[in-house]
Amino acid sequence: MPPRALPVTADKEPFDIDEAFRRLRQAVADLPKAAMFALRDRGYDSPFEQLVGSLISARTRDETTVAVCERLFAVARTPADMAALPEAELIRLLNGATFPEPKARDILALSHRIVAEHGGAVPDTLEELMAFHGVGPKIAALTMAVGFGMPAVAVDVHVHRITNRWGFVAAPTPERTMVALMATLPRHYWVEINERLVPFGKWICTGERPRCSTCLMLSMCRQVGVTTHR
């Protein structure tokens, strides 16, 4: 079907965040979960597993991330066990993920530091997590949210794109979107928003030509910046 221009219409319901989450849960119920939530559901929910898994997941497909993490965690699930792995062995275990060599170096380095500087326990602040090489705001927030169960908003490209399209925030970068969401999104949705919007963004509110015509959010979504859709 060729792309079509969006109709000019003001027939939108007020944006209700509770109703939005009800619709999101329904929309993604049968879609594959984002890697970190799929790992959590398989029991890999410790802060260390979430930290390492998030690092592995960067630019790696969700299915691959889950498979690689399951292989790796069968061998090493703690900082001490990970730190004891030879680098070549860790690179081999990361086979399939993108950039296995630098990721192996980052994982080994942070494992050694957690053992040496934090008594073997993953630190539980964004600042301390982001002090590890290779760990940015998204990985730190996922570790905080899924690993520690602490309120943190993990904003990736999907969360950034979709919340701006809704008109719920108006922010030019993922970092600014995270700040805006922490100011406006009720805390009990801080973890769930990433869980729902990653599959929603991969399959429905896609980067190019989102599936607006059949989207459950259409009556509320302002479709900011959407010029064509399916």
CB atoms within 10 A of CB 106: 19
Helices (H), 42-169: 47-57, 62-73, 79-83, 87-93, 100-118, 126-130, 137-142, 157-166
Q: Does 17 bind ligand SF4 (CB under 6 A)?
A: no
Q: Does 215 bind ligand SF4 (CB under 6 A)?
A: yes
Residue with Cβ nearer ligand SF4 (6 or 75): 6
Q: Does 223 bind ligand SF4 (CB under 6 A)?
A: yes
Please report how many Cα atoms fall inside a 13 Å half-sphere around the Cα of residue 176, on the Cβ side: 8
Polymer length in residues for the chain: 230
Q: Does 211 bind ligand SF4 (CB under 6 A)?
A: yes
Binding mask 169-208 for ligand SF4 (x = CB under 6 A): -----------------------------------xx---
Q: Does 165 bind ligand SF4 (CB under 6 A)?
A: yes
| Distance set, CA 61 to CA 19, 149, 230 (Å) | 30, 24, 24
User: Given the rule CB under 6 A, which residues bind ligand SF4?
Assistant: 162, 165, 204-205, 210-212, 215, 217-218, 221, 223, 226, 229
